[in-house]
Amino acid sequence: MAAILCDIQAGDEVILPSFTFVSSANAFVLRGAKIVFVDSHADHPNMDERLIEEIITPKTKAIVVVHYGGEACEMDTIMEIANRHGLFVIEDAAQAVNSFYKGKALGSIGHLGCMSFHETKNIQCGEGGMLMINDPQFINRAEILWEKGTDRAAFFRAEVNKYGWVDVGSSFLPSELNAAYLWAQLENLDKIQERRKTIWEDYFRFFKGDSSDPIILSPEYLKKLSVVGYHLNASNIQLPTSNFHIFYLLFPSLATRTAYSEALKEQGILAVFHYQSLHKSEFSKKHFPDQYKRHLPNSDSYSDCLLRLPLFYELPEISHR
């Protein structure tokens, strides 16, 4: 819906981070856009806003901002760049329910915001999402797209005497069962968030330890997991300003990450990596060869070195040993 509302056409360019899920790109590719990727920050997977302006061209139509793990991108800078160049900003706030930037809810800052209620999110209904309309120019058309391209909602309000097909549209509605399931979770959002916060802080205390020593995995713990020969730096784990959506570790290499995840698996713990750089995908190689050839080292590093630990409401309590 965001791509349609921004009138993305064939030949338009859309800027988005390489380190994100493919849905961030697919919505615009389906409208014929060329995706232009931007690298992540060296110290966080979020897009590096300092690199945006240099890849803007006369064909650029929009910037898609992804708030990784519910952590806010630098929205003041991004909005200033977008406004100066006349670009739309779409916030991919899929992971960002109950996260804020300078007191503003993520998803409410750009022209449009998108939130996910997929089963992996803090609150979920299996599948589904929400589009936030922050620019009044989009309100009326968004309702028509939502109603499968018809003005049926206006008809129900007795604003027109009949309804018909007036624009493009699709089936964007969740079922009432999904909505009811989600509503119950919304009613318990504070309870859910408090539990996730407890788990996140428990991980943090465990890995950080009681000293300032940058070796935050004890030799005894490494020996137990049969993984030795590498260190994690405490600076890679910081108290978040977000919604406790993800707890991840950063490893010095793909090999060490793989060894650690395999050792966890032997203990019955599933820890998984996350996105693979989109600019290095087979799709980009075929359709955006100039992007495939670009060097985005930070995105590639997160693809190789980031590992997510289990974090969900029903995660059992365990003692630290």
Residue 240 pLDDT: 53
Distance between CA atoms of 26 and 160, rounded to whole angstroms?
A: 35
Nearby residues of 284 by Cβ (< 8 Å), 6 or more positions away: 35, 37, 278, 291, 292
Q: What's domain 193-308's superfamily in CATH? A: Aspartate Aminotransferase, domain 1 (3.90.1150.10)
Q: What residues of the chain score a pLDDT lower than 50?
A: 210-239, 321
**pLDDT value at position 232?**
44
**Does the CA dihedral 149-154-156-159 come out positive or negative?**
negative
Residue 230's pLDDT is 34
> What's the pLDDT at 241?
60
Find tokens 């599933």 and name the residue.
270
Nearest CA among 298, 269, 290, 292 for reference residue 280: 292
b (16+ CB within 10 A) / e for 15-37: bbbbbbbeebbebbbebebbbbb
Q: In the chain, what are the domain boundaries?
A: 2-186, 193-308
Measured distance between the N- and C-terminal CA atoms of the chain, rounded to whole angstroms: 49
3-class SS at 184? helix
Name the one residue in this structure whose structure tokens are 């589009």: 131
Sequence-ordered list of residues with C-beta below 8 angstroms from that of 10, at least 6 positions apart, any chain: 31, 32, 33
- pLDDT computed for residue 267 by the predictor: 86
Specify the residue for token string 């009044």.
136
At 42, list the tokens. 């060296």
DSSP structure class, residue 242: S
Q: Please report the pLDDT score of residue 212 as a whole number.
A: 42
- The pTM for the full model equals 0.89
Query: Residue 272 gets which letter from DSSP?
Result: B
E strands, the chain, are: 13-17, 34-38, 60-66, 88-92, 100-101, 104-105, 112-116, 129-133, 248-250, 306-308
- For the domain spanning 2-186, the CATH number is 3.40.640.10
What pLDDT is recorded for position 209?
Answer: 56
Other beta carbons within 10 angstroms of residue 182's beta carbon come to 18
**82: helix, strand or coil:** helix
19 phi/psi in degrees, rounded to 5: -90, 85
For 251-281, write each residue's pLDDT tens digit.
888 988 898 899 889 888 999 999 999 999 9
